[in-house]
Amino acid sequence: MSDFILPDIGEGIVECELVKWLVSEGDVIEEDQPVAEVMTDKALVEIPAPYKGRVTKLYHQEGEIAKVHAPLFELVAEDEADAGSAGKESESKPAPAAAVAPEAASRATEPDGKLQGESAPAAGSGATEDFILPDIGEGIIECEVVEWRVAEGDEIEEDQPVVDVMTDKAMVEITAPKAGRVTRLYYQQQEIAKVHEPLFAFEPRDQAGGETTPAAAKPAPETAAGQAPKADRSQAAARGKGIPASPAVRRLVREHELNLADVPGSGKDGRVLKADILAHLDEGARTATAEEGTEAPARPAARRGGETPREVRVEPIRGVKAAMAKHMATAAATIPHFIYSEEIDVTDLLALRARLKPEAEQRGSRLTLMPFIMKAMALAVQEYPVLNSRLNEDASEIHYQPECNIGMAVDSKAGLIVPNIKGVERLTLLGIADEVARLTEAARSGRVSQEDLKGGTITISNIGALGGTYAAPIINAPEVAIVALGRTQALPRFDANGQVVQRSIMTVSWAGDHRIIDGGTIARFCNLWKGYLESPQTMLLQMG
């Protein structure tokens, strides 16, 4: 029997929402069978079973937040399940006293020689869990334990600060994942703790074997009129345990000394959102003002026709939109952007695409301008590889990427995501077209795989599909360049003989990381890319 630990499901992702269980407790599952669907801040991900066995416990309800590197469900391997069944049959028969092994002999020893569970009371104790130190910053693999806020044997509440650790960037406060009792601290102060390894062990309160808190065991003392007994307050606080809410919301509840059960939740399955807490506090403030006899502010004049005043609609920013907001704010604040705009005459490219389109359709491919644009970009990158590079964290090294993995920004229902096509320099136009169609459909349905979201080296944003000509796009860090394609327009231009002719003009806007890309470099790169698009037959000379 073992816990399935939720693995890394995306770069920088530390938690996800459990959308749907695909199995139930007691189900027998096969290796690689989908067990659950979880929603990260980037996409919907299926979690498969690591091996064949029987599901004995699901640690989260649908709609709850699951932590990366924490248990997701409990699984008994097939051979263990068979052994367990045999054990139950043998238990039904009386065993001689001499055959019963002493309790100490039945317990496994730990590497340091201590018996497992030695720090916990033997009678009535439940199973202990290890708290795995999560990712606490990009690239951070260890930290120093600065100060323990608790000691072994202490009772802890959910989200209570347990320990302060120091990374090479900042001091971080580690909080308890759930209420319970601390049974072991794996590190002393000033020792180095490793990310993804146990930090402390605790016994969850719901597994404490029927133990009661001192407040519940003692009769409530008499109190003054209007003051609730301590036991009543403890019971009121306990009412919020089963209510779905994020750690940030629970922290807000504690800061304002509220009971989560008293706040109506407007989220899925009654989830309490931050907006619900703020609305509850606002309502409480208005009630207190009325009770104190404070003069209420003048009411707005009645609207014509007896209309009732409309309320502001509050929508929390979550999932992909929240990740995009954070990512874009960081990129805009830390990368010095250099903007370069240009016009490209795509008249000949449109004519070539029109001639090739019927043949592509016969082969089941939808040929748009995007495969030509991507292929030309991959060819131009070979001459100017700095456009296909990355900077390390302290901007002291340029990492030239071996492949041109071109990302395309897709406006999905969940928000803006950027899947990328791997190795565009090796693909044919039809191969690129098929990948564009696959990723577009997957993005709009919210089912892009994590592999398709990783490893992008340069990005295209096709704003022209919706309208607009020029833009100032924000670089998709850690990449160093992005281009926004404007709409294609029929505009008058002079030909070689000085005559005004109609041409199809597409505008493009480049943004480059000015720490390593200067104006001359991006202009020369854009001219080469533009040459391939304006005379598409020249790409044949460079294709391998």
d(C-alpha 439, C-alpha 421), whole Å = 8
User: Is 327 noted as a catalytic residue in this protein?
Assistant: no
Q: Are 505 and 492 in contact (CB under 8 A)?
A: no
Whole-Å CA distances, 243 to 25, 39, 177, 265: 21, 20, 15, 9
Q: Are 205 and 199 in contact (CB under 8 A)?
A: no
User: Is 196 noted as a catalytic residue in this protein?
Assistant: no
DSSP per position, 425-449:
GGS-HHHHHHHHHHHHHHHHTT---
d(C-alpha 184, C-alpha 190), whole Å = 17
Write the CB contacts of 447 (distance below 8 Å, at least 6 apart in sequence): 43, 44
d(C-alpha 526, C-alpha 508), whole Å = 9
Could you say which of 69, 280, 327, 514 is catalytic? 514
Of the chain, the end-to-end C-alpha distance in Å amounts to 54
Q: Are 66 and 36 in contact (CB under 8 A)?
A: no
The token pair that represents 274 in the structure block:
């931050």
d(C-alpha 119, C-alpha 340), whole Å = 65
Burial (CB < 10 A; 0-12, 13-18, 19+), residue 496, is exposed
Could you say which of 8, 168, 206, 518 is catalytic? 518
Q: What are phi and psi of 23, to 5 degrees?
A: -135, 170
Residue with tokens 């309490």: 272
Whole-Å CA distances, 306 to 137, 289, 298, 299, 300: 55, 27, 18, 15, 13
d(C-alpha 136, C-alpha 149), whole Å = 18
d(C-alpha 78, C-alpha 2), whole Å = 12
d(C-alpha 117, C-alpha 110), whole Å = 10
Handedness of CA 438, 440, 445, 447 (dihedral sign): positive
Strand, helix or coil for residue 463: helix
Catalytic residues: 514, 518
